[in-house]
């Protein structure tokens, strides 16, 4: 009876430790995914700003905006 209790206790401890490891790994993976998502949104914002800046750098766009200002 004593050997069975020791085996059950060791198996229980093993299961608890593995559960803690799995939960910790899940938390780390979720945290990384959230950070990567935030970085991706920032990159998208930067690329949109660059696209708008590139549109305004276009000479024909600048000339048409200036001409529109003088027409009004």
| pLDDT tens per residue across span 15-50 | 999 999 999 999 999 999 999 999 999 999 999 888
Q: What does the pLDDT read at residue 9?
A: 94
SS3 for 1?
A: coil
Q: What is the pLDDT of residues 47-72, one digit of tens each?
A: 988 888 777 777 777 778 788 888 76
pLDDT at res. 53: 79
Separation between Cα atoms, residue 16 and residue 63, nearest integer Å: 70
pLDDT at residue 1, as a whole number: 61
């Amino acid at each position: 009876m004593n050997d069975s209790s020791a085996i059950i206790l060791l198996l229980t401890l093993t299961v608890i430790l593995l559960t803690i490891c799995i939960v910790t790994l899940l938390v780390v993976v979720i945290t990384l995914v959230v950070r990567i998502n935030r970085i991706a949104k920032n990159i998208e914002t930067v690329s949109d700003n660059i696209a708008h800046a590139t549109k305004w750098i276009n000479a024909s766009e600048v000339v048409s905006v200036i001409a529109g200002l003088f027409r009004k």
